[in-house]
Structure 1
């Protein structure tokens, strides 16, 4: 009996979240009402309140759980910037994209379009930045970077997020492995050299 109840609760919760993500894309977070969510999930308002306190609670829990999943996905990725290995960024990017590919509709709602959730994007950027920074803090010896580490981190994070958002926005146009490989080569060799474009001094 408990197992049946747990499954029913799980299905209801999934229906609520699916409805919520769809509505974010359609009308934006601010315009959504609890009744909208209940109607789309085919439940009554009382059932919604058995799962969540209110709309901000639903958003907070969706954001935190997605971010926790990203953290768990990349926590085991080996990373070092001294020396730098192309496979380092490739592995991190591939891990994130593989996770997103299993939850595409959620990330479309959170990261794409005029109704995206900016709070989610900024928190996801911090997770990626912390992971990349780990490559320096875990390495031995004094930094010999010729440019600001903070500037370099911001550049890498922006590149990461730009590629991820482009990939989601265009309905995953390239395989995960290809995107990850090309991205890491662009970062390692520079965009012109990676593309095979001659550059004059």
Structure 2
């Protein structure tokens, strides 16, 4: 396959995926037909089947490629949770948000729309949980955590997913770096102290 053909195939796939995610937002996944996708992408059905077996195959490939890109975005981010580093957690969170901002229509369809694809969120949460868990390598003699590590990971990932959903739904009202910084401060200091709210005993 020559370079010109490679570029043509790439553009065709991009058109199909763009059409697919637009249609998910408009009609919901179940209501979409292959003909809908072909019409929106301005291709014929045969061209679609050159690249994808069917609609579930297209969905699976889109999800896996997007999640693979997410993994690549955070794999090189340094993180170590003992001792805890705000700046390192912030780096990971910003990498995730930067990736999302570059694929915002895809993430909207996957996470926000009423017809969102639930398996995608679970897979995304696992990537983040694995990255945070990777940072827990206690040295011999370190005291054990005061609470369940599994509970703590679940809390961190669930909280950040809530922030991500809010950020996308509200059309990214704050820059990715600011969201990552504020979230990291909330994690480090607690929501009241991070917000500057005095607490009485």
TM-score (norm 1): 0.96
For the residues of structure 2 that align with 1:25 and 1:140, how far apart are their CA atoms? 48
Q: How does 1:59-138 map to 2 (within 5 A)?
A: 59-136=59-136, 138=137
Where do 5+ consecutive residues of structure 1 fail to align?
none
Please give the alpha-carbon distance, in whole angstroms, between the structure 2 residues aligned to 1:166 and 1:139: 33
CA distance in 2 between partners of 1:30 and 1:199 (Å):
49
Give the corresponding residue for 1:166: 166
- Which secondary structure state, in structure 1, belongs to the residue aligned with residue 80 of structure 2? coil
1:53-109, Cα deviation, whole Å (9 max, x unpaired)? 000100000000000001111011111111001112101100011111111111111
- Do residues 39 (structure 1) and 39 (structure 2) align? yes
What is the Cα deviation at residue 145 of structure 1?
Answer: 1.0
Alignment CA distance shift 1:143-1:113 (3 Å): farther
Q: Is the 8 A contact 1:80 1:139 kept in 2?
A: no
Q: Does 1:140 align with 2:144?
A: no
- After the TM superposition, which segments of 4 or more aligned residues of structure 1 sit over 3 Å from their partners? none
Question: Following the alignment from structure 2 to structure 1, what is the Cα–Cα distance between the partners of residues 99 and 123?
Answer: 16
Distance of 2:139 and 2:24 partners within structure 1: 45
Question: How far apart, in 1, do the equivalents of 2:143 and 2:22 lie?
Answer: 46
Q: Which SS does the other structure have where 1:153 is aligned?
A: helix
Structure-2-length-normalised TM-score: 0.96
Q: Secondary structure at the match of 2:135?
A: helix
Q: What RMSD in Å do the two structures reach over aligned CA positions?
A: 1.2
Partner of 1:192: 192
Q: Deviations over 1:111-143 (max 9, x none)?
A: 11211111100000000000011111x342355
* Cα distance change on mapping 1:153 and 1:47 into 2, 3 Å: same
Q: Aligned equivalents of 2:65 and 2:86: distance in 1?
A: 30
